[in-house]
Chain A
Amino acid sequence: MWKFLVPAAIFAVLVGFFVVGLHRDPSQVPSPLIGKAAPAYSLPKVEEPSVKVSNTDFAGRKHLVNVWATWCVECRKEHQVLLEIARQNVLPIVGMDWKDELASAQQWLNQLGNPYVATAFDQEGRVAIDFGVYGAPETFLIDEQGKVLYKHIGVLTLEVWNQELLPRINGQKS
């Protein structure tokens, strides 16, 4: 007799999970890196592949690391925002060109303008894995000690810049 109740029991457990799941937002993915040291990297520079870009170049400075790629449609939209942020000259933006072709990346920067102080070329996507990158674009705010303060997933807008990033850069929000 009891074996016929097994499906109902399994279903009851499932419903329990659904009730909990209903109150959560699955699209919010917090980065486990927040508050921890950003991964170290040393990669060729897109603008000048013989030179290396590494995390130590920016030690002691708050900076943004922006993950992008030429195959990413949304990144094209984001690029204009990055140029505007670069114009405000608040902090350096480091680019991380992810799983891309060097020639197309160089062309992209030449044509659309270059908001980055330097762009690291992560062709294999190894460093991006260390950063826990799900997709492009993603942006990390890194502090003077090399700790990750904030992670933004998706296109960076001026709204996000003004409401989430600027207050954290100025130390008004954590």
Chain B
Amino acid sequence: MSVELGHFALILAFSLALVQAFFGLAGSYRKLDNWMAASCSAVAGQLVFTLFAFACLTAAFLRNDFSVLYVANNSNTELPMFYRFAAVWGAHEGSLLLWLLILSAWSAAVALFNRTMSPEFTGKVLGVLGLISAGFSLFIITTSNPFERLLPAALQGADLNPLLQDPALAAHPPMLYTGYVGLAVPFACAVAALLEGKLDAAWARWVRPWATMSWLFLTLGISLGSFWAYYELGWGGWWFWDPVENASFMPWLMCTALIHSLAVTEKRGLFKSWTVLLAIFGFSLSLLGTFLVRSGVLVSVHAFASDPSRGLFILIFLTLCIGGALTLYGWRAERLKSGAGFAVVSRESFLLFNNVLLVVAAGLILLGTLYPLFVDALNLGKISVGPPYFSVVFLIPMLPLVLLLAVGMHAGWKQARFTSIRQPLVITLIVAMLFAAAMTVLIFNRFSLLCFVGLLAGGWVLLSSLIEPFQRLRAGHSLSRGIVAMSLAHFGVGVFMLGVTTVSTYTIEKDVSLNKGQSTEIAGYQFTLTKTEPVSGPNYEAVEGTVRVTRDGQEVAVLHPQKRIYRVRTSPMTEAGIDAHWQRDLFVALGDELGNGVWSLRVQYKPLVRFIWLGTVIMALGGIVGVTDRRYRARAAVQQDQAQPVPARS
């Protein structure tokens, strides 16, 4: 019964989304306060009903109601309780419902925190969000209904995809979606600004925290996914340039560009049409990602059920949404006049470089992702584009970006004079050079130019981001949240760069076959396979190896890599045995039994691999600090505006 109620609630949510869209937009144009108020109430109602629908589906999972098709396909009586909860978004239908729930939560947040903006503007934003919501709920109801019954009910469920039975991956979709869908807010604000033909500093200040919040969720979500791939897929890689990964990474790049462009729009009233375009691109790319993943136009390892009717629906929705916004942009962008100019050497031009390079990076990734589709559509054959393309092409805009970053974050607005900063910049550059030289030549004993440049750039950004807080503290000033946020995020970029560069150059990897008692050696560590034994989990059988790692006769770690076979879906999964340490990971994955107790093993030594995720967490921390800046809070911001005309921070 609750299943039907859930379905009904979903239909109500769809109707309320239409109400929200109509009263928001029409009320804003006719300047009718009660219509705009009705739009806000519709948002609240929509949140309540979507939440209810979501709760009904969750309840069906928790009690393993196999009369619901979606539950029967993605759960099992042996599935642990925690994963039954995570299974709600374990496949297409439920993950869309989660998407809708998050969208209504963001809309509700907009309806709640809008005191600094005019009611007409809020009305338009809620109206646009309502249209998106209506499109998505219609998509769920017509093509992907999670409440569809299965009669007669199945006796047993087909179990959750074993790939998803992992704590990190259970948390990954909600994080990522919060980021993805969060981009709908800047998108709606951009469309509203185009409709009004007006975009001022207040607009930019209001949009900034929304963009930063989406960015921080995207950062964490992508990072979690990468971390999961590292320990779960069994080959020790952390990024594969898979179409689905690219689909999440492109909005991140756009959002990063947007955050920086917004800073210029707020402080200097420049880049207005550019900021609007980035806001549109950001959400467009997250919609595009959804289309690519769910429609089956591209092949990907992320096996979501794809279906042409779904593809067609999303394509129509995509065309209306993105096409509509871009046409509106073409029509109205001219009205968004930008203010005064700026000198060639200034923070504005550094941020312009940042924007251009980030957009170029996203464009090249988009090209690589869609290239197989283009080639196929033009009947030129079937091809696939992989890491060799992406790794090279991504470096081209990224290395200059990171090097510019070290200098650019100290440039002043309008015209930059580096007098007070020249000395610390040169010192940090020299230190970074020495560091890079020491790492490549002394520690790893193998010089590579690319690695040297990577370490230099990473080290320089890392040190350079500390200059400003250091100088301010020494001069007795307190640190504003804006500065802390910027420094933290850029520090994180440096840490990330160091990790990526070191891991990609100095990973040592060996595939061996070992019998019990035999051992192999990499990077001075001795790996001995001491035993293999069968173990069983709640819904899987596994073989667990015990690998003793020693160095110079001293025991370093005992690792337990597993090879699991999940009972229902019978797919083999590897659980790598990892000894984590801040300066290196030792990674052992169990391959196949080759007979006579001989097992194939993949053994890896990965220096500084933890820096990759540490860096992203630091970046996200920067985001959190930035979002909690007091001047974004409604009343405080108004007062501050009257008190001090231009706050001197980014």
Contacts and interface: CB of A to CB of B under 8 A. Distances in A.
Contacts of B318: 15, 18
A171 interface: no
Contacts of A108: 594-595
A18 B323 CA distance: 14
B373 A17 contact: yes
A87 interface: no
A18 B334 contact: no
B315 A104 contact: no
Main secondary structure of the interface of A (DSSP, over half): helix
B513 A22 contact: no
B376 A24 contact: yes
A8 B359 CA distance: 16
Nearest to A14: B370
Contacts of B326: 7-8, 11
A1 interface: yes
Given A8-B326, A11-B322, A26 B297 contact: yes
B376 A18 contact: no
B600 A17 contact: no
A84 B600 CA distance: 27
Main secondary structure of the interface of B (DSSP, over half): helix
B304 interface: no
A19 interface: yes
B390 interface: no
A12 interface: yes
B526 interface: no
Interface in A12-32: 12, 14-15, 17-30, 32
B463 to A, nearest CB: 38
A170 to B, nearest CB: 29
B277 A23 contact: no
B89 interface: no
A8 B333 CA distance: 12
Contact of B594 (A23, A73, A104): A104
Interface string B373-411: 110110001100000000000000000000000000000
Contacts of B595: 107-108, 111
B227 to A, nearest CB: 24
Contact of B273 (A4, A101, A107): A4
Contacts of A12: 323
Nearest to B571: A73
Contacts of A23: 308
Contact of B329 (A7, A14, A17, A104): A7
A18 B311 CA distance: 9
Interface in A103-122: 103-104, 107-108, 111
Interface in B556-605: 572, 591-592, 594-595, 598, 600
Nearest to B273: A4
Contacts of B323: 8, 11-12, 15
B298 interface: yes
Contacts of B372: 26
A96 B592 CA distance: 20
B594 A107 contact: yes
Among B277, B377, B381, B572, max chain A CB count under 10 A is at B377
A11 B333 CA distance: 17
A86 to B, nearest CB: 20
Contacts of A30: 382
A111 B326 CA distance: 63
Nearest to B319: A15
A4 B333 CA distance: 7
Nearest to A1: B334
B190 to A, nearest CB: 12
B327 A22 contact: no
A107 B598 CA distance: 10
A20 B375 CA distance: 11
Among A6, A11, A27, A28, max chain B CB count under 10 A is at A11
Contact of A73 (B280, B327, B374, B572): B572
A17 B284 CA distance: 16
A139 interface: no
Closest 6 CB pairs of A and B: A5-B330, A8-B326, A20-B377, A21-B297, A4-B333, A4-B330
27 contacts: A1-B334, A4-B273, A4-B331, A7-B329, A8-B326, A8-B329, A11-B322, A11-B323, A15-B318, A17-B374, A18-B291, A19-B315, A22-B308, A23-B308, A25-B296, A26-B376, A26-B382, A28-B382, A70-B600, A71-B511, A71-B591, A71-B600, A76-B592, A101-B513, A104-B594, A107-B595, A108-B595
Interface of B: 273, 277, 280-281, 284, 291, 295-299, 308, 311-312, 315, 318-319, 322-323, 326-327, 329-331, 333-334, 370, 372-374, 376-377, 381-382, 511, 513, 572, 591-592, 594-595, 598, 600
